[in-house]
Amino acid sequence: MAAGSSPNWSAMANSLAGRVAIVTGAAGGIGRAIVTRLRAAGAAVLATDIKELGDDAPGVFRHDIASEDSWAALRAHVDQRHGGCDLLVNNAAHFDPQPLERTSLASFERHFAVNQKGLFLALKAAPALFAGRQGGAIVNIGSVAGLSGGEGAFAYTASKWAMRGMSRSAARELSPLGIRVNTILPGLIDTPMAAVNPPERTEAIRGMIPQRRIGAPQDVAEAVCWLAGDAAAYVTGAELTVDGGIAA
Are 31 and 93 in contact by the 8 Å Cβ rule? The answer is no
Catalytic annotation, residues:
156
Phi, psi of 137 (to 5 degrees): -140, 140
Give the tens place of pLDDT for each residue, 57-109. Answer: 568 999 999 999 999 999 999 999 999 999 999 999 999 999 999 999 999 99
Are 84 and 20 in contact by the 8 Å Cβ rule? The answer is yes
- What average pLDDT does the structure give for the chain? 91
* DSSP string for 57-82: STTEEE--TT-HHHHHHHHHHHHHHH
- Distance CA(181)–CA(168), nearest Å, equals 8
Q: Which CATH architecture has domain 20-242?
A: 3-Layer(aba) Sandwich (3.40)
Percentage of the chain modeled with pLDDT above 90:
79
Show me where the domains of the chain are located: 20-242
Give the tens place of pLDDT for each residue, 103-141. Answer: 999 999 999 999 999 999 999 999 999 998 989 999 999
What is the pTM (predicted TM-score) of this model?
Answer: 0.91
Q: What is the mean pLDDT of residues 11-26?
A: 86
- DSSP letter at 117? I
